[in-house]
Structure 1
Amino acid sequence: MNAVTRRAVMSTAAVSMALSLAACGQAGGDSADSGDKGSSTKIGLLLPENKTARYEALDRPQFEKAVKGACLTCEIVYNNAVSDVVKQKQQFDQLIADGVRVIALDPVDATKAAGWVEEAQGKGVKVLAYDRLIEGADAYVSHDNNKVGELQGEALLAALGAKAASADVVVINGDEKDANAGLFKKGAHTALDEKVGKIAYEASGEWDPKVAGEKMSAAISSVGKDKIDAVYSANDGMAGGIITALENAGIKDIPVGGQDAEIAGIQRIIAGTQTFTIYKSPLELAPKAAELAVDLLMDVPLRAKSETNGVPSILLDPVVVDKKNIKSTVVEEGIYTAADICSSELAEKCTELGLK
């Protein structure tokens, strides 16, 4: 999204937020402190883990800012499950006990969370599935996760070029308990299958850089260090562990992809050890989630444009980021500044890319 488009999006968002603010002020008043669940203006946000930097650095602050911009009387109650589904269920139940009327939930385990949704709805609490689809949720907002995987696979093919048809590719997927991981995997295989020589090794890295590095080391032992032509990594965090394993084995200059546009991933792209990432703009995702959360709170028609498995949905477009468009994406959108990205070690390469 360029600067002009971004301003247009923000302007449109401001109008819709103003409408929500008026409604929220009328219905909410000072009732948040009244202890009456029916008139509470509490909105919960539950994120799944903190190994992936985006959740604390981007999603949480953007969601909180957007909700407060839409509803002055709203109180946001936040927790992170640190990858523990039992902990997240406790957090979910506590939100209901504390009178939260809408919960934006990014589940550790979407299958288990479907049962939680049913329980919550039975108590008059609405659930917004944030970034991961939950069956039966009241609404869902995410980027198009199947498309994320397709873009990752296509970017890997582009990086391989003419070598793709004979290439041996290692695939390190996300956590199998994560519904999104399955969509990324499906999309990647749609792009890669029958277009590369073969998938020489495939395993789950469990969204953990250490585990992903161990799986990469196992792949090197299994396939042979001289026979690996590219690596698909489902996200940037795991790509970091994978690249360390490759470097330790003396493997250089092969395409490695990722996802999430983490600052470490962007820095590796500049350094040349990572080839690309996928950017899912929190400037789009979190405000859209906030918009739907306020709609649910106010019990007004949802501004959802589609359905996913019967759940009213907003699906946003992801973007491939490589050296050529770092400036026009994550820098121009204000996610990172050039100073954030360009350490002293990267100063020369940043200058070559026009990052100042």
Structure 2
Amino acid sequence: MRLSGRQAVGAVGVGLGALTLALSGCSSSPAPAAAQDTKAGGKTTVAQFLPHTRAVRFKTIDAPEFEKAVKKECPDCGVILQNAEGDAGNEQRQMDAAIGQGVDAMVVDPVDGQALAGVVNSARQKKIPVISYDALIQQVPIDYYVSFDNVTVGKQIATSLVEQMKAIGTTDKCLVVIKGDAKDNNASVFWSGSEPVIKAAGLNICFETNTPDWSDSNAQREMDQAITKIGKDKIGGVYSMNDSMAAGIVASLKGAGVDLSKVPVTGQDGDTAAIQRILVGEQYMTVWKNTYSLASEAAKVALQLAKGEKPQGQTTVDNGSGTKIPATLLPPEVVTKANIAQTVIASGFIKASDLCAGPYAKACADAGIS
């Protein structure tokens, strides 16, 4: 997500979910040197705005890979990287500052998909293309959308959970549903893919909530509440919309003495900590979204639009603005213990040396990862 799930992720996913890195003095860290270059210098400049750093990917993959991809295609181009740190107002100020600098294209993962109409319209008046990244900006025309197939992400999370609950015989128990931040459009898109699968399986949702900021601490508190309400022995599975939240959920379940082999927990984003939890049986699965590919695709589209080109996209999406938004939606992939080596390791998304450090060495060896 973003939380995927938009925590992460996206967001992907897609949420996955929302990109915003800071242009103004409100940024949590100084902009890179390239961020000081403006149109006054005559060079093409593109800006990327990420939503937060709670999902590790936004700091370690999305931002540096976007800059790397831009520089590979256009070594002389300027790149502005900003992060809103979960503050929608900060994101708007950062975008306003970029518009004032006269950037040539903006790639935006929204903190709040409903809150950017004004600043996007300001960009449009200046003829600055806006690409929505990971999560979809709502209710205002934009130039392009780059994300993952987030409905499929939701289907994959729910399908994996249902299948595992059937396999271990817990479908007659309660399902806990912990979704991402309600302000993030990706959360509703993920759920649109998940809900039909859960309903078709006849699972009993005994606790359901959205998680502010997609944060692990909020998710842990929510899981504590679910255990108090339901009773730990009556829980048959936990639907978590991303890996950051899964970390808090697992901490809550472990603290309550729950046997995690009997209560599958889902996730999304495929970060290293989540894969480690999967290796040792604390988390059942995650949906991996190759954010290297996402950042590279966004850079390509941003440069095309900055040059006045009109990329067509592989499909179109509707963001409620009455216009068809050209889009590229990349495929997500389910990761369980059985295919870690063939997915996140084989792709280079995670290094085996990082995954298998310390207490995870034996679990890696058992899973055939070296």
TM alignment of 1:139-288, pairs within 5 A = 139-162=144-167, 163=169, 165-206=171-212, 207-252=214-259, 253=261, 254-288=263-297
Distance in structure 2 (CA, Å) of the matches to 1:128 and 1:279: 22
Mean CA deviation greater in 44-53 or 54-63: 54-63
CA RMSD in angstroms, aligned pairs only: 1.4
Distance in structure 2 (CA, Å) of the matches to 1:114 and 1:256: 36
* Cα shift readout 1:284-339 (whole Å, capped 9, x = no counterpart): 21111111101111111305111101111001111001111111111111111111
Distance in structure 2 (CA, Å) of the matches to 1:196 and 1:166: 9
Any conservation in 1 of the 2:39–2:103 contact (CA below 8 Å)? no
Larger-gyration structure (1/2): 1
One-letter amino acid of the structure 1 residue matched with residue 275 of structure 2: I
Q: Which residue of 2 aligns with 1:138?
A: 143
Shift of 1:133: 1.1
SS in 1 for 2:116: helix
Choose the corresponding residue for 2:359, options 345, 348, 355: 345
Distance in structure 2 (CA, Å) of the matches to 1:256 and 1:156: 8
Distance in structure 1 (CA, Å) of the matches to 2:39 and 2:279: 53
One-letter amino acid of the structure 1 residue matched with residue 209 of structure 2: A
Q: Which residue of 1 aligns with 2:48?
A: 45
TM-score by length of 2: 0.85
Any conservation in 2 of the 1:167–1:196 contact (CA below 8 Å)? no
SS in 1 for 2:360: helix
One-letter amino acid of the structure 2 residue matched with residue 35 of structure 1: A
Query: Is 1:35 aligned with 2:40?
Result: yes
Q: Which residue of 2 aligns with 1:299?
A: 308
Shift of 1:202: 0.3
Query: Is 1:67 aligned with 2:70?
Result: yes
Gaps of 5+ in 1: 1-31
One-letter amino acid of the structure 1 residue matched with residue 368 of structure 2: G
SS in 2 for 1:172: strand
Shift of 1:146: 1.1
Distance in structure 2 (CA, Å) of the matches to 1:191 and 1:57: 33
Distance in structure 1 (CA, Å) of the matches to 2:249 and 2:265: 9
Q: Which residue of 2 aligns with 1:25?
A: none
Q: Which residue of 2 aligns with 1:11?
A: none
* Cα shift readout 1:127-159 (whole Å, capped 9, x = no counterpart): 000111124111000001111111000010111
Shift of 1:246: 0.4
Shift of 1:224: 1.1
Distance in structure 2 (CA, Å) of the matches to 1:237 and 1:165: 25
Off by >4 Å, runs of 4+ in structure 1: none
Task: Return the structure number with greater helix share.
Answer: 1
One-letter amino acid of the structure 2 residue matched with residue 95 of structure 1: A
Any conservation in 2 of the 1:46–1:78 contact (CA below 8 Å)? yes
Any conservation in 1 of the 2:38–2:45 contact (CA below 8 Å)? no
Q: In structure 2, do the counterparts of structure 1 residues 248 and 196 end up closer, same or farther at CA, with 3 Å as the change threshold? A: farther
SS in 1 for 2:147: strand
Any conservation in 2 of the 1:157–1:192 contact (CA below 8 Å)? yes
Q: In structure 2, do the counterparts of structure 1 residues 303 and 67 end up closer, same or farther at CA, with 3 Å as the change threshold? A: farther
Query: Is 1:319 aligned with 2:324?
Result: no
Shift of 1:115: 2.8
Shift of 1:266: 0.6
Any conservation in 2 of the 1:117–1:127 contact (CA below 8 Å)? yes
Structure number with the bigger relative contact order (C-alpha 8 A, sep ≥ 6) is: 2
Shift of 1:51: 0.6
Q: How many equivalent pairs are there?
A: 323
Any conservation in 1 of the 2:236–2:264 contact (CA below 8 Å)? yes
SS in 2 for 1:45: strand
Distance in structure 1 (CA, Å) of the matches to 2:110 and 2:299: 17
Q: Which residue of 1 aligns with 2:17?
A: none
Shift of 1:164: 5.5
Distance in structure 2 (CA, Å) of the matches to 1:288 and 1:196: 39
Q: Which residue of 2 aligns with 1:15?
A: none
TM-score by length of 1: 0.88
Identity %, equivalent residues: 37
Q: Which residue of 1 aligns with 2:89?
A: 86
Any conservation in 2 of the 1:40–1:99 contact (CA below 8 Å)? no
